[in-house]
Structures are given as C-alpha cells and as structure tokens.
Amino acid sequence: MGTQPNQSNDRPRQGSVFSRLKQFVFRGYFPPKDYHKYVIHQTLTGFEVQSQSKPLWTVDWESVDRVVAFKLDRVTTDTVCLGFQLAGYSDRVWCIKEDWDRFHELKEALEAHTDGAWPGMWGAVIQSPFLLNWTEVWERDNAPKLKENPTLIWNSAPAASDPTE
C-alpha cells in the first residue's frame, strides 16, 4: 500500500521536498571547511594518504609495481583517479581521486617516478566523457600482471602480514 495523500489538500505541504530543494538551489550550497576529507602528503620515499590528520596508508615508490589511471562517472562530471598496484598484490589497486587535497603535487611526483609516462597519458584518460578509460600509465619491469577486475581500495592500509587477505 504506499502513503496516502493528504485528504484535505493534495498540494505539497510547506517543507516538502520541492520547497527544500528550492531553498537549496537559491541559497546556494557551500561545502564545509573539511570537505576534502583526504589529504596526500609527500614523504621522502613516497606518499601518505591521511584522513582528518590520521594516516590511512603509506606508499613507498619502490613498492609500486604498476600505476593506472581511470575516471569515475559522477553524472554531470568525471573524476580522474590514480591507482597503485603494490608489490605482493596482484588483485588490488590503492586509489586516489583528483579532488583529494594535494593531488596535483602527487601528479608532479608521479612524473619523476614513472620515467615521464604520466603527462602523456592524461589525454587518453580524460577523452570520451563518462567512460572508465582504464589506462595503464606505468609498469615496473617484471611486475606481476594485474588480475582481471581488481579490488579498488580507497581508504584502508595494505595488510603488513598477509598480502592475500
């Protein structure tokens, strides 16, 4: 059975979804100061992803076997993402979104650690709107092949003890 309309007046009540949407649109929406929940910090040997000043995961450039780039469809826009396959993990990719703080600094560091491969791949990733455009940016010599449909990890650290769990 669903909800019954207001018997006395079928028009939307004050405070209905429509009126709240109208307030939202005409007042404008400004995200809170901590909108960028994730921050990327460069380290001496790689980078670290933090959330609210707490480290989530750290990557040493020496442990990176492969770098991929792709896009997420966000209905009206796309979000470019970078993914890192780490040594010992052929089924997982640790990912970073372009709207995370200091993403551009990571892109600059990536150029140095991928023998300059990254800037040339940017066009392949951003073309064809609203498509995934999974692109392998760089691969270490003799790196294990990335398994089909890897798990994309956004906010958890690699397990120190067992890379297969």
149 within some domain:
yes
161 within domain boundaries: no
Q: Which structural domain, as residue segments, surrounds residue 80?
A: 61-153
Residue 112 placed within a domain: yes
Q: Is residue 32 part of a domain?
A: no
Tens-digit pLDDT string for the chain (165 aa): 444 444 444 444 555 666 555 555 555 555 455 555 889 999 999 999 998 788 888 999 999 999 999 998 878 888 899 999 999 998 999 999 998 999 989 988 988 888 877 777 778 888 887 788 898 999 999 989 988 888 888 777 665 433 333
Number of domains present in the structure of the chain: 1
Residue 144: inside a domain: yes
Q: Edge-to-edge strands of the sheet including 46-51?
A: 38-42, 46-51, 54-60
In the 3-class helix/strand/coil scheme, how is 85-153 assigned residue by residue?
EECCCCCEEEEEECCCECHHHHHHHHHHHCCCHHHHHHHHHHCCCCCCCCEEEEECCCCCCCCCCCEEE
Query: Is residue 7 situated within a structural domain?
Result: no
0.75 cut: is pTM over it? Answer: no
Asked whether residue 11 is domain-assigned, the answer is: no
